[in-house]
A = this chain, B = another copy of it.
Amino acid sequence: MNWKRKDLLGIEELNPDEIIHILDTSISFKEVSERPIKKVPILRGKTIVNLFFEPSTRTRISFELAEKRLSADTVNFSTSGSSVLKNETLLDTALNIEAMKIDAVVVRHSGAGIPHLLAKKLSVPVINAGDGAHEHPTQALLDMFTIREKKGKLQNLKVAIIGDIRFSRVARSNIWGLTKMGAEVFIVAPPTFIPPYLANMGVKIFNSLDEVIEKVDVIMALRIQMERQKGSFFPSIREYRQYFGITKERLKKAKKDVLIMHPGPINRGVEIDPEVADGKNSVILEQVTNGVAVRMAILYILLGGSPTHASQRNGAIGRRTGGKRI
């Protein structure tokens, strides 16, 4: 396809063809990660700046690995949550860094919409690595990639998303993506975790996992973000586990080939039992593996031109797997 966007800011704005294009491109990059020498020269001489205004381990390392495997130079800039940057200063910082002739910015920020603000002002691609409770598009894309790889499709699948929807950018991005791709999304959460905007997002809402567990193809647990919860949205961990925990007992009622997913880090024994997290239905670590591939694909699409041209240019990706349509 002829990719037109400068940035990757959210799943909300993508159309199904764009999502498919990213997922298809990711297939080749997953194959790169499985080689003994996991490096292709596609972005040699390009510089990518990782601006992380929120603490992050996994996502930052995943992006950094994606960048290095594409042979880009990377520069990291992290601030602790304590040093609050006003938006205007943030923008000046970004403009300054752009003036150093860098080629892309990956940004994580606690403020919803910050990546969009930067994207408007910068001429280089901006990639949203998570903005507040708004979107986390690369997470949703790696989730969709994982589901599609395992199930062969996304359309008509039944996907339960469980837990802390109100504070979850992962949930939002996945709801946008999965519904666009024709999956049926069941939200399972305590009423206090259900944000008002859900009503318009084409999902069905349930207040107990038992109501849906028998019919879903995928169960995606979210992390209970203890640190974000100022009020008391639920009475106790024990009660949460009783209605929403993916326990090994509850799993027996599910389809034999149900996929268990979690964006990490897991609160073992809260959202999910250790036996389930490490069990045969779990694809949690495969999500992580796929994350690097999907991020490589996104950087490649935004920075490297169309796959065909790049492939001809340097023969680096190797055998094209051919976009498997879902």
Q: Which residues of A contact B (CB under 8 A)?
A: 33-39, 44-47, 49, 57-58, 61-62, 64-65, 68-69, 73, 75, 77, 88-89, 92-93, 95-97, 99-102, 264-266, 268, 285-286, 288-289, 291-292
Minimal beta-carbon separation of A291 from chain B (angstroms): 7
Check if B65 sits within 8 Å of A289, measured CB to CB.
no
Check if B65 sits within 8 Å of A34, measured CB to CB.
no
In the bound complex, residues from chain B placing their C-beta under 8 Å from that of A100 are 33, 61-62, 65, 288-289, 291-292
Picked from B33, B37, B101, the residue with its CB within 8 Å of the CB of A33 is B101
The CA of A264 and the CA of B93, in the complex, are separated in Å by 9
Picked from B38, B44, B68, B264, the residue with its CB within 8 Å of the CB of A96 is B264
Check if A38 sits within 8 Å of B101, measured CB to CB.
yes
The CA of A183 and the CA of B89, in the complex, are separated in Å by 32
Check if B75 sits within 8 Å of A47, measured CB to CB.
no
Check if A92 sits within 8 Å of B265, measured CB to CB.
yes
Q: List 25 A-B contacts (CB under 8 A).
A: A35-B45, A37-B44, A37-B46, A38-B46, A38-B101, A39-B45, A47-B68, A47-B69, A49-B61, A57-B93, A58-B96, A58-B97, A61-B75, A61-B100, A62-B100, A65-B73, A65-B75, A65-B102, A69-B73, A89-B265, A96-B265, A99-B285, A99-B286, A99-B288, A101-B292
Known: A34-B101, A68-B73, A100-B65. Is A44-B39 also a contact (CB below 8 A)? yes
Identical chains bound together, number: 3
Minimal beta-carbon separation of A275 from chain B (angstroms): 14
Chain B: CB-nearest residue to A39 = B45
Check if B37 sits within 8 Å of A45, measured CB to CB.
yes
Check if B73 sits within 8 Å of A289, measured CB to CB.
no
Task: Kindly name the residue among A35, A61, A96 whose own CB sees the greatest number of chain B CB atoms within 10 A.
Answer: A96
Chain B: CB-nearest residue to A95 = B285
Minimal beta-carbon separation of A304 from chain B (angstroms): 11
In the bound complex, residues from chain B placing their C-beta under 8 Å from that of A46 are 37-38
